[in-house]
Structure 1
């Protein structure tokens, strides 16, 4: 049975997808994902990581069907193995290294907890790329916001826009 796998990468601005068989291995999935890269991209140092997964690496022999989560299979293809994230909230600053497939939503929850915010207060804030007005969606991978060799991104934690009425 085919499975649609959503892929984000430092190499393309939009989410792309491939369809692979449930029985396909992670190595076969990576091969299919590499085919989406722009021509001339050197792919020997790219790492495939699973969205919001804390494992350092999945065995290349694991089957795609074992990667399925509530929203399907979502992966990230990046040269950085980890992304240094800095979140500023007023005068407070927290730092942590995340895998490129970590979502902006997960980083927001982590930052709010580290800053001692209540869950309801975290929900009323968004991450905004420092020095800009850009507020990436919660399902964007942080690896999409940085390129190798920078491997870092800085955010401000700001109140979400409220629509009254």
Structure 2
């Protein structure tokens, strides 16, 4: 049975996908993901990681079926093992190292808790890339926002735009 794998990377701006058999190995999925990269890309230091798998729970997975969730698999290709994240809010600055496959939603939740927000207040805020007006969607991986060797990104935690009426 085919499984859809969604892939994000520092090397391409949009989410791409492949379909691969459930019985395929993780190595086969990795090679299929590499095929999405521009020709001539140096594959030497590229690592494949599972979305929001900060504790490495999927590290020992051998086949695609071990990673499968209800809506497919979400992976990330990056040369950095971790991304240093800095979030600024109300005069506070908090830091944490996340894997490149951590989502903006996960980082926002972590940052909100670190600065003492209630869950309701966190839900009313978004992460905005410092020095810009860009507010990435909650399902975007932080690794797409930085390229190796920089491996860091700074956000401001700002109120979400409200539409009244």
TM-score bracket for the superposition, by shorter chain length: over 0.9
Cα shift at 1:69 = 2.4
8 Å CA contact 2:51, 2:74 repeated in 1:
yes
In structure 2, the partner of 1:101 is 101
Secondary structure of residue in 1 paired with 2:40: coil
- Tell me if 1:58 matches 2:77: no
In structure 2, the partner of 1:148 is 148
In structure 2, the partner of 1:130 is 130
What are the ranges of 5 or more consecutive residues in structure 1 without an aligned counterpart? none
8 Å CA contact 2:10, 2:78 repeated in 1:
yes
* Alpha-carbon separation, structure 1, partners of 2:164 and 2:36: 43
Q: Deviations over 1:109-145 (max 9, x none)?
A: 0000111110000000000000000000000000000
User: What is the aligned residue count?
Assistant: 164
What are the ranges of 5 or more consecutive residues in structure 2 without an aligned counterpart? none
8 Å CA contact 1:21, 1:64 repeated in 2:
yes
- TM-score relative to the length of structure 2: 0.96
Tell me the C-alpha RMSD between the 2 structures.
Answer: 1.1
Of 65-74 and 50-59, deviating more is 50-59
Cα shift at 1:25 = 1.3
Q: Deviations over 1:40-94 (max 9, x none)?
A: 10001100000001244723x6111111224320000000010000000010010
* Alpha-carbon separation, structure 2, partners of 1:84 and 1:141: 13
In structure 2, the partner of 1:111 is 111
8 Å CA contact 2:3, 2:68 repeated in 1:
no
